[in-house]
Amino acid sequence: MRKPLMKVRGSAIISCLILTVLLTAFPIHSIAQNQKDRANFDQLTQIAWSEGTVRVIVRLDVPLIKELTAASAKFWVADASEAIRVARTAADTALKDAIEYTAWKVLAELQGTNYDVNTIYRSIPFMALRVSPYALALLEDSTTVLGLEEDIPIKLIEPVEESGGEKGKTSLTDSGDLDRPSLDVSVDLIGAKTAWGWGYTGAGWYVAVLDTGIRKTHQFFTGKTFVEACFALGSDGVGGAGDCPNGNATMTGPGSAVHHSSSYSGYDHGTHVSGIATGNYGSLAGVAKNANILAIQVFSKFSGNALSSWNSDTLAGLDYIYSLRGSYNIAAVNMSLGGSTRYSYSCDSDSRKAAIDNLRSVGIATAIATGNNGWCTGVSSPGCISSSVSVGASTDSDGEAYFNNWHATLLKLFAPGYQIYSSTGTSDSSYASWNGTSMATPHVAGAWALLKHRLSSGSVTDFLNALRTTGVSVYSVCDGYATGIPRIRVDRAIQSFPTGYALTIQSSQYGTTNPTPGTYTYDQGTQVQVTAVPDTNCEFVNWTGSISSTQNPVTVTMNSDQTIKANFRVKPKLTIQAGAGGTTTPSPGVYYYATGTVVQVTAIPDTYFIFNMWSESASGSANPVSLTMDSDKSLYAHFRYIYPPIATGRKVLNRTFSQAEYINILSWTAHPSNAGLDITKYRIYIISGTTPSLLVELASSQLEYSHRNVGQATIQYTIVAVTSSNREGAPATVTIQ
Ligand SMILES: [Ca+2]
C-alpha cells in the first residue's frame, strides 16, 4: 500500500547558484531600529552592484503603527455583525492607508532611480522592492526606512527518506509495520480521536496552509470548503508575471492555489500537509477532520525543478491570511518551509515576525517546521522566530525523529512526523507515508483547530501553554536526553481548560428566548448574550433569577452557574368601535400596544354628521383623544346626524320698479332633533345644476331671508344648519318657481 516517494533530502542542496550567493547574506543580525545594520547594507550593496539589482524587504517607519495595529487586532474571529464588520474594516483600512502613505513617501525619495515595487503590505509596515544600487543607497539614507532585509527564496522543507527512526539510536528496521496507514496512529496518539468523541472536530474553523498549493479534487478533501490564494513572484523575484495559475505574481479565488506540475520536486507537499491537518475520507482522517482549508500557494519554480518561496511572497501570504480573519474563523497557519542556515537564537529581526505577531494577536497560531537537517543546537528560519509555534518531528513511540532540527528553547512542540500517511498529488485517491518536520507541523495546526472549536476565545499563548503542560516529554540525544520537550496531546490540553459554568435559561408563557430555553455550558468569563423573543401581541417584561434587568438582549458573564428567566405578558389591548355616522383613525378594531404607548385616536364623522363624544375608556369630545396603554382599554366614538331646518318659500311681486321682479322669501325653523347641538349659523346655497354656490351665511337667530330674483326664473335653494365646529347638516331644499 505504501509507496515511498524519493525526495530530495538531508541538508541544504541549493539548486540555484544565485541562492548560494544570497544565502551568504544570512544570518542577518538584529537590525536596531533607527540604526541600520552597516554590514547588512554593505552586503546588499555588493549584491546590487554584482547583480545589477537587489531584492529587499523594507521596514517602514509608519507613524502610530503600534496604535493602528492594536486597533486592528481587536477583531479576532469572523465578524458577528454588520456593525463589527464596519468597525473592523475601518480599523484595517486605517492601518493599510498609513502603511501605504509611508511607502509612497519612501518611493517618492527614489524618484529617478530604477526600482520595482513587488508588494506594499496592508497589515505590516513593510514593502518589498527590487532596487538598483543607487536606489538602495537612497533607501539606506531615508529617515523613513528603519531597516532593510534581503528578499531571498526559501526552500520547501521536503520529506526525508526512511533511513533512521530515532535520532541517536540504531536505525530501525521498518518491516511490515510500515504498511499500515500511520496517520491513523499519529492522529490517535495525539488525542484527536478522543477530542472528536467530545464533539471537537474543527468544524467551522479553517487551517491556513502556506505551502505548494493543493490537489482540491483529492478524495481526502471531500466536502471541504477551500479559500485559495497565490503569491509567487517567479524565479526572477519581481512582480507582474509570476508563477500563479493566471501567469501573474498574485492571484486569489478558486483555482489560485492549484499545485505546480509533478515535474517539480515537492509539488504535492501542500496536498500531503493539508491532508494531515484536515483530511477526512472513509476510515482515514487528519487531525481536524471537519475543518476547512485556506490554501495559500507561495512557491515559485526555480531551475532544477526546485520550488522555493520568496520571503516577500511568504509575507504576502501571511498578510493576506490576516486580512481574511473577519471572513473566516482561522485557527492556525501551517508553514513547512525553511532556510538552510542553522539558527541557535531567536531570529526576531525577520520581517515575517511582524506578520506572525499580528496573527498571534488575533488568536491565530503560526506553526512552523523546525527543518529536517538533523541539527542538534538550532532550527531553520522562520521556525526560529520566537512568536511562532515551531514544531519538531517525533516518532510514534515518542522518540525524536532522526532528521529533526532540535533546540532546547526554540523548538516549542513535538508532533508525530515519522511515516505519516496522507494524500498525495498523483491521483484523487493516492496516499503515501512521508517523513519530516513538515508532517509534524500540520498535526499541531490541526490540533489548534480542535482547541479553537472547544474554546474560540483561547489565545495562542493559552493554547501553547496548555499543549506544553499536558504533552508527553520527548527527549533528545542532543543534550543527553536532559530536556523534555512536549509532544502534543490535544485531548489533555482540552481537559486542562476550565470546565465552564452552566447557564440555565427559562421562559414564562407568551415568549421564548435565543438561545432557546435550556441549560448550556460556557467557559469561564464568557459573555453570553440572551435575547427574549415575545410571541405575537406579547411583550417582554424583565429578567429574573441570577440577574434582574429589563434590558433586551441581556449579557450574562459566566463567572458562576447562572439561571435566568425571561418574563413575558400579553400587550395591553385597545378595542375601538364607532357608532353610526362615522369612523375612526385607526379604524375600528382590536389593537395591541406595548405597555406605556400613548395612542391617539381620531373620530371622523360622515357627511351631515358631527362627532359627538367618546365613551368607555375616554369621555368628552376632544378629537383626537390620547390614551396611555397601561391596561386593556376600549373606545367608542359617537356621532350625531345634523337634521335639515324645516323650510318653506314663497315669492312676491315687487312693484317698486318698472321692470318686473320677484322677491323670493325663504323661512325656516330649527329641526327639533338638533336640540343640544350647537347650531350657530345657517347657510343658504343656490343650486345651479348640481353645484351649490353660497348665497348667504346667517346667524342662527335669523329664520327668514329675502332674495331679489330679477330674472323671474325658477330657483332652487338649499338651507343647512352649521355647528360651531363648522359642520354642515343635511340640506333642506326649497324650490321657488
Ligand atoms: Ca516574476
Give the pLDDT confidence of 464-502 residue by residue, as tens digits: 999 999 999 999 999 999 999 999 999 999 999 877 788
Question: What ranges in 282-363 are assigned the alpha helix state H?
Answer: 311-323, 351-361
Q: Which residue has the cell 526560529?
A: 384
Q: Is residue 14 part of a domain?
A: no
In whole angstroms, give the CA distance from residue 719 to residue 575: 38
**Are both 544 and 591 inside the same structural domain?**
no
**Are both 506 and 488 inside the same structural domain?**
no
- CA 242 to centroid of ligand 1, rounded, Å: 4
Closest CA to 505 of 533, 536, 524, 525: 533
Average pLDDT over residues 582-605: 97
Boundary residue ending a domain (445, 465, 495):
495
Q: Given this model, what pLDDT does residue 524 score?
A: 79
Q: Given this model, what pLDDT does residue 655 score?
A: 74
Q: Given this model, what pLDDT does residue 338 score?
A: 87
Number of domains the chain contains = 5
- CA 96 to centroid of ligand 1, rounded, Å: 24
- CA 244 to centroid of ligand 1, rounded, Å: 10
- CA 104 to centroid of ligand 1, rounded, Å: 22
- CA 6 to centroid of ligand 1, rounded, Å: 29
Q: Is residue 404 part of a domain?
A: yes
Q: Which residues line ion ligand 1, judged by CB < 5 Å?
A: 233-234, 236, 238, 241-242
pLDDT tens-digit readout, 650-679: 988 877 666 677 899 999 999 999 999 999
**Are both 64 and 206 inside the same structural domain?**
no
Average pLDDT over residues 331-346: 93
Q: Is residue 279 part of a domain?
A: yes
Mind spelling out the 3-state secondary structure of 77-101? CCCCCHHHHHHHHHHHHHHHHHHHH
Average pLDDT over residues 352-372: 97
Q: Given this model, what pLDDT does residue 559 score?
A: 81
pLDDT tens-digit readout, 471-480: 999 999 999 9
- CA 241 to centroid of ligand 1, rounded, Å: 4
* Contact present, 213 and 295 (Cβ < 8 Å): yes
- CA 20 to centroid of ligand 1, rounded, Å: 20
The phi, psi pair for 585, rounded to 5°, reads -125, 120
- CA 313 to centroid of ligand 1, rounded, Å: 11
State which amino acid sits at residue 139. L
- CA 238 to centroid of ligand 1, rounded, Å: 4
**Are both 368 and 425 inside the same structural domain?**
yes
Q: Which residue has the cell 385597545?
A: 574
Q: Given this model, what pLDDT does residue 18 score?
A: 36
**Are both 251 and 379 inside the same structural domain?**
yes
**Are both 594 and 656 inside the same structural domain?**
no
Q: Is residue 730 part of a domain?
A: yes
Q: Given this model, what pLDDT does residue 610 score?
A: 97
**Are both 566 and 578 inside the same structural domain?**
no
What one-character-per-residue DSSP string does 152-175 give? Answer: -EEEB---B-SS-SBTTSPPP---
- CA 663 to centroid of ligand 1, rounded, Å: 110
For residue 458, the domain's CATH number is: 3.40.50.200
- CA 55 to centroid of ligand 1, rounded, Å: 12
- CA 302 to centroid of ligand 1, rounded, Å: 11
- CA 209 to centroid of ligand 1, rounded, Å: 22
Q: Given this model, what pLDDT does residue 32 score?
A: 42
Question: Is residue 15 pLDDT above 60, yes or no?
Answer: no
Q: Is residue 687 part of a domain?
A: yes
- CA 231 to centroid of ligand 1, rounded, Å: 10
- CA 247 to centroid of ligand 1, rounded, Å: 9
Boundary residue ending a domain (478, 495, 512):
495
In whole angstroms, give the CA distance from residue 419 to residue 460: 28
- CA 494 to centroid of ligand 1, rounded, Å: 45
pLDDT tens-digit readout, 250-267: 999 999 999 999 999 999
- CA 243 to centroid of ligand 1, rounded, Å: 7
CB atoms near residue 478 (< 10 Å): 21
What is the domain extent for residue 709?
Answer: 646-736
**Are both 622 and 723 inside the same structural domain?**
no
- CA 585 to centroid of ligand 1, rounded, Å: 73
Q: Is residue 79 part of a domain?
A: yes
CB atoms near residue 268 (< 10 Å): 27
- CA 249 to centroid of ligand 1, rounded, Å: 6
- CA 237 to centroid of ligand 1, rounded, Å: 6
State which amino acid sits at residue 76. W
* Sign of the torsion angle spanned by Cα atoms 680, 681, 682, 688: negative
- CA 239 to centroid of ligand 1, rounded, Å: 5
- CA 388 to centroid of ligand 1, rounded, Å: 29
For residue 680, the domain's CATH number is: 2.60.40.10
- CA 233 to centroid of ligand 1, rounded, Å: 4
- CA 215 to centroid of ligand 1, rounded, Å: 24
**Are both 342 and 429 inside the same structural domain?**
yes
**Are both 372 and 285 inside the same structural domain?**
yes
- CA 131 to centroid of ligand 1, rounded, Å: 14
- CA 240 to centroid of ligand 1, rounded, Å: 6
Q: Is residue 425 part of a domain?
A: yes
- CA 308 to centroid of ligand 1, rounded, Å: 13
Q: Given this model, what pLDDT does residue 216 score?
A: 98
Q: Which long-range contacts (CB under 8 A, 24 or more apart) does 74-78 make?
A: 75/325, 75/326, 75/362, 76/325, 76/362, 76/363, 76/457, 77/325, 77/329, 77/363, 77/456, 78/325, 78/326, 78/327, 78/328, 78/329
- CA 228 to centroid of ligand 1, rounded, Å: 20
CA angle 437, 441, 445 (to 5 degrees): 175
Boundary residue ending a domain (570, 597, 630):
570
State which amino acid sits at residue 671. H
Number of H helices, E strands in the chain: 13, 42
**Are both 86 and 108 inside the same structural domain?**
yes
| Three-class secondary structure of residue 650 per DSSP | strand
- CA 297 to centroid of ligand 1, rounded, Å: 15
- CA 236 to centroid of ligand 1, rounded, Å: 5
Q: Given this model, what pLDDT does residue 175 score?
A: 44
Q: Is residue 10 part of a domain?
A: no
**Are both 202 and 303 inside the same structural domain?**
yes
State which amino acid sits at residue 450. L
